[in-house]
Amino acid sequence: MRLARFDGGRLGVVVGEEIADITGLVGGDPQQWPDVNMVRLIRDFDQLRGTIEAALPGLPRLPLAQVRLETPVPWPNKIIAYPVNYHAHGREMQAQYRATNQGFFLKPNSALSGPADPILLPAVPGREVHHESELAIIIGKECRGVAREDWQDVVFGYACLLDMVVRGREERVFRKAYDTFCPVGPWITTADDVTDPAALDMKLWVNGELRQSANTRDLVLDIPGMVATASAVMTLYPGDIIATGTPEGVGPVVDGDRIRIVIDQVGEMNVDVVQSDQGMTEVFAQPYVPPIIKQN
């Protein structure tokens, strides 16, 4: 099942090229703040699924082209991200560590945006903003200390994710925390609709140029390992997002670019890049020292 948010926080099921509105059916309130309707739906999905499936044939539908899709989980408890989780990306960035010995970092919820939102480039002259294509894992249950072999019990579904970053050597979270620096979407594909999450093809294009192409089988720390590692440290909650790390091929984007990310069986997002006049800070006043040069 493909679950989406659209048109101001409404909840829907995507069927083909249409979306069925299930907001009232599952007790959602688009006016609620903070908007945790999807979090509640994820938490209660096992009880609600039969009701949704039974009602789906009779629910009115809208063409996807006529609605505005929004980020599926705007208020997760946390966004967990694993750095340098593909060996080839580690080599290109001259990183000596990997996710298996570095752990994870957290991105702020305020960085989340959706498939219809542009990525806003901060006004940081002399700095590059790079794209990073990633698979998003959506947690489905409150859990702690999940064993590797039990990871599927707590994973609700998957989505496309872009982990945008101002390239540099300052604190990683600082450079990845800008508003719109974590587009997620276009919907959540529930885990039962993904045949093998350990063998998903992922590609990213900028203006039609293929920049990144990889498969989740190439992950250094695999999906069971990421779930086990995160839950060993902290309690995971329904709606929490795990970003799996990016493969090689990261590169700069500029005003006017269009990013396309496609993950097999999960979905596709096409996101515009727009220059903002905000975001300058004294931290970025100095240039790279020395310049970061990607390695082949």
pLDDT digit string (tens) for 179-215?
Answer: 999 999 999 999 999 999 999 999 999 999 999 999 9
Whole-number average pLDDT of the chain? 93
Q: Per-residue DSSP letters for 224-238? A: HHHHHHHHHHS-B-T
- What pLDDT was estimated at residue 296? 55
CATH architecture of 2-70: Roll (2.30)
* Tokens coding 151: 């990871």
Write out the two tokens for 46.
């096992």
258 by Cβ neighbours in 10 Å (0-12 / 13-18 / 19+) ranks as middle
Q: 52-60: list long-range contacts, CB under 8 Å, 24+ apart.
A: 52/1, 52/13, 52/22, 52/25, 52/26, 55/22, 55/25, 56/13, 56/15, 56/20, 56/22, 59/20, 59/21, 59/22, 59/25, 60/20, 60/21
pLDDT(153) > 70: yes
Closest CA relative to residue 40, chosen from 140, 171, 122, 187: 140
Look at residue 101 in the predicted model and tell me its pLDDT.
74
Indicate if the pLDDT at residue 56 is higher than 90: yes
Q: pLDDT value at position 63?
A: 98
User: Quick check: 290 pLDDT over 90?
Assistant: no
Identify which has the larger pLDDT, 237 or 169: 237
Cβ contact 187:2 at 8 Å:
yes
Which residues contact residue 119 at a Cβ distance below 8 angstroms, ignoring those fewer than 6 apart?
113, 162, 164, 180, 181, 183, 253, 259, 271, 272, 273, 274
Read off the pLDDT of residues 16-28 as tens digits, 9 standing for 90 and up: 999 999 999 999 9
Residue 247's alpha-carbon distances to 4, 5, 135, 198, 237, in angstroms, are 26, 28, 11, 14, 27
Burial of 25 (C-beta count, 10 Å sphere; 0-12/13-18/19+): middle
Q: Is the pLDDT of residue 225 over 90?
A: yes
- For residues 37 and 137, what is the distance between their CA atoms, to the nearest angstrom? 18
Listed residue (40, 289, 280, 73) closest to 161, CA to CA: 73
CATH number for the domain whose boundaries are 79-278: 3.90.850.10
- Sign for the CA dihedral angle at 222, 228, 232, 234 comes to positive
Structure tokens at 176: 């990845």
Q: What are phi and psi of 11, to 5 degrees?
A: -105, 140
Of residues 290 and 150, more confidence is placed in: 150
CB 165 within 8 A of CB 181: yes
Structure tokens of 48?
Answer: 């609600």
Q: Domain extents for the chain?
A: 2-70, 79-278
